[in-house]
Amino acid sequence: MNLIGNIIWLIFGGFVVFVEYMISGILFCLTIIGIPFGLQCFKIGLLTLFPFGRQVREVPGPTGCIATVFNIIWIFTGGIWVALSHLVFGLLLALTIIGIPFARQHFKLMSLTFAPFGKEVI
């Protein structure tokens, strides 16, 4: 079932979003300051490629204050808008029975894109 969901996800926009996150990650990595943010873009991009069958969870153990500072910078430099877009798409997809599995994936992406530092994808 995960394979079918991932294939449908890729056909209807998942691959385009993956490419956008990869391009953003490459552009962030052009500067030394942007490398941590670029790595988070790569993490989110890989999740958008095949979201079915994967989970987002908090990193076990203390992440330190640097993760909190980076999450605050991430939120104010666009993370909130990306998370809100996933929320809107999730709500729209949840209106139909067929769209509910895809809405759940958008909600999963929303939780990761709001504050990606200190989270991992398994």
Cα angle for residues 107, 109, 112 (degrees, 5° grid) = 115
Amino acid at 81: W
- Cβ 73 vs Cβ 67: under 8 Å: no
Tell me the pTM: 0.92
Residue-wise pLDDT for 55-99, tens only, equals: 999 998 887 899 999 999 999 999 999 999 999 999 999 999 999
Residue-wise pLDDT for 2-57, tens only, equals: 999 999 999 999 999 999 999 999 999 999 999 999 999 999 999 999 999 999 99
- Cβ 71 vs Cβ 116: under 8 Å: yes
- Provide the residue range defining the domain that includes 69: 2-121
Q: What is the DSSP letter of 59?
A: P
- Three-class secondary structure of residue 9 per DSSP: helix
Q: How many domains does the chain have?
A: 1
